Amino acid sequence: MPRSLRTLVIVIVGFGAVALTSDQLVNSPGFINPRDFLEYWAAGAANARGGNPYDPGELLRWQQLADPNRDGAVMMWNPPWSLAAYMPFGLLSPRWATLVWIGLQIVAVMVACNWLWRMYGGPVARRWVGPVVGLSFAPVVWTVLYGQNTGLLLLGLAGFAYFRQLNRPALAGAFAALTALKPHLLAVFGVLLVLDAATRRGRIALATGASVLLAGLGLALVTNPAVLVQYGQAIRNPGPGAVTLDEWVLPVASYWLRVTVGAGFWVQFLPCALACLGYAAYRLAWGPRWDWTAELPGVVWVSVLTTPYGGWVFDLTILLVPVIGAAARVAADRRGAVQALFATAYLGVTVVSLVGEFSLPGFFWVAPVLLILDLLASLVRGNALGNDPPPRLGGKAVD
């Protein structure tokens, strides 16, 4: 049999096996639609049919099609341009949409971790370590269990940095647009992205990213011309059946600052505002010497630690940016005991998060523990000769 024909037969048989397995899984009585994914599916389904994706009553009607026992809507608070990503899933049945969505998140994490591993100089012979670390990372496990979207945010960060380093700013900007699915979670990154427009590549990246968001908004407006008005109304007054943002009990420092001070919801935005101002000054001081590869882990950490709301355990998936950098450094160390120690520590976080009976706010400990591990990993010599900087994937470009 010719090689090309044999390859075609393997592809057809493999596709058939995957399709059969997927069909059996989707139609299994034990199949469960993740709690949070239904907010994206319902919002996409409503907007694709001209409905209001920010109305709790309408969302509940859609969500009850997939989960008849649900008695309250899970609101979708992402900006209107995000609906372009959710509407295709809203055209599928909820079970098939769930399966494709979870697969998408897993693939996004694996691709992002592979890019990050290469960016931060992970040993080529151990490039499988990046995706393994990603898929066993506690926040990623919870992203899958809840059906959240943070795999796409991680892909946006990794794709931006990867293609920025390869001197392909248009692709970098296109990936950066994915981070705007949850702009509050990466506000510092967003500010720095705008300031980067001082350089030629930065302007290309920013223009491309803005174009992608405008295209997404345009798609949402085609089926629902009132979506911007509906979003604004929901922010001001979401209506009965919705839990407003200021009612959430959050596992982040900004929330506890507000509780301690006893002031309004606006207090939760102070740490983020100060972080944005501080990093803006830092970026301007560095000028043309700014290096996204070296700075991105710190940017992600500060963004997460100062986020005004959210910061749930699944949102911490974006911490794979510094974690993969740390893992690459540890993997390059020749001491097996050090590698075993860090592997055990990270897996320990995952195991404890799964076996412990934590409420969502009860996961407040995950980010501090990961930060401590990251700081300890920074003390590890990445190779036998010293602390070399991450490799450059592309040639030096002129801004």
User: How do residues 19-50 score in pLDDT, each as one tens digit?
Assistant: 555 555 555 655 566 888 999 999 999 999 99
Please report how the helices 292-305 and 150-165 are oriented relative to each other, as an axis angle in degrees rounded to 10: 160
Q: Does residue 326 carry a pLDDT above 60?
A: yes
pTM for this model (two decimals): 0.90
Among 21-25, 149-153, 327-331, 368-372, name the one with the lowest average pLDDT: 21-25
User: How do residues 215-265 score in pLDDT, each as one tens digit?
Assistant: 999 999 999 999 999 999 999 888 887 888 888 899 999 999 999 998 889
**Dihedral through CA 229, CA 232, CA 238, CA 243, nearest 10?**
140
The reported pLDDT for the residue numbered 398 is 44
Q: Please measure the distance between the N-terminal and C-terminal CA atoms of the chain and give it in whole angstroms.
A: 53
Q: Which two tokens stand for residue 131?
A: 């995706």
User: How do residues 105-142 score in pLDDT, each as one tens digit?
Assistant: 999 999 999 999 999 999 998 999 999 999 999 999 99
How do the domains of the chain map onto residue ranges?
31-377
Q: Does residue 13 carry a pLDDT above 60?
A: no
Please name the amino acid found at residue 79. P
The reported pLDDT for the residue numbered 392 is 55
Query: Across residues 209-213, what is the average pLDDT?
Result: 97
User: How do residues 351-393 score in pLDDT, each as one tens digit?
Assistant: 999 999 899 999 999 999 999 999 999 888 654 333 444 555 6
**Looking at per-residue confidence, does 214 or 11 come out higher?**
214
Q: Which two tokens stand for residue 240?
A: 């009965």
